[in-house]
Amino acid sequence: MKKIFLILLISSFVFSCNSRRSERVMYAAPLSDMQSSIIADTKSLEETSTYEGVLPCADCAGIQTILKIYHGDGTMESHKFELTTVYKGKSPEKKFFQKGNFNLERGLEQDPNGTIYILNWNLPEEKQLYFGYNAGAPNKLYSLDRKREKNKSDLNYTLTLKEL
């Protein structure tokens, strides 16, 4: 008699656990929809801007430059860049690839709403690179000097935003 009672008790316990598990699955579906919504929102924040152009070079035909800016989720830690430069007219052509973090600074010369990208902001100042754009023309990125000013030259020190 005790064995039968024990078997009934164990089987009722097992079956009761199974019914709860199906309830959990029922409630998991809306959570999954919510998670996919969060993921979609996060991806929209992870924009990439690609600027291209040929910058002047003193001893070559020009420096083919591609700068990719990964804006991330808006936090400083998520700001990343990739810079590819190819020195044209050299034999062999020298190609350099650089990755790192960037920071943003507001104000470019007389434009308080302009933006400056400080590439390698977490490294010593001599390893930092500066690019910036005016608020009215964000598709034209200027290569800046160490004082974070546009190069005063008749040569073209700009990169152009490429539309995807």
CATH number of the domain residue 85 falls in:
2.40.128.640
Spell out where 4-124 has E strands.
48-55, 62-70, 80-88, 94-108, 111-119
The verdict on 84 and 63 lying in the same domain is yes
**Is 77 found in the same domain as 29?**
no
Q: What is the pLDDT along the chain (164 residues), one digit of tens a residue?
A: 655 655 655 655 555 555 444 444 444 444 444 444 444 444 434 689 999 999 999 888 999 999 999 988 878 788 999 999 999 988 788 899 999 999 999 999 999 999 999 999 988 899 999 999 999 999 999 999 999 999 988 999 999 999 86
Could you list the residue range(s) of the whole structural domain that residue 94 is in? 48-162
62-70 and 80-88 beta bridge pairing: antiparallel
- SS percent in the chain: helix, strand, coil, step 5: 30, 40, 30
Residues 6+ apart with CB under 8 A from 120: 98, 100, 101, 102, 127, 128, 129
Residues 158, 122 share a domain: yes
What does the DSSP 8-state code read for residue 78?
G
Q: Is residue 9 domain-shared with residue 80, that is, in the same domain?
A: no
The verdict on 35 and 77 lying in the same domain is no
What is the C-alpha R_g of the chain?
A: 28
Same domain, yes or no: 52 and 38 = no
118 backbone dihedrals φ, ψ, rounded to 5°: -105, 100
Overall domain count for the chain: 2
Assess whether 37 and 52 both reside in one domain: no
One domain for residues 14 and 33: yes
Residues 84 and 142 in one domain: yes
Check whether residue 12 and residue 65 sit in a common domain: no
130 in the same domain as 69: yes
Question: Does residue 150 share a domain with residue 87?
Answer: yes
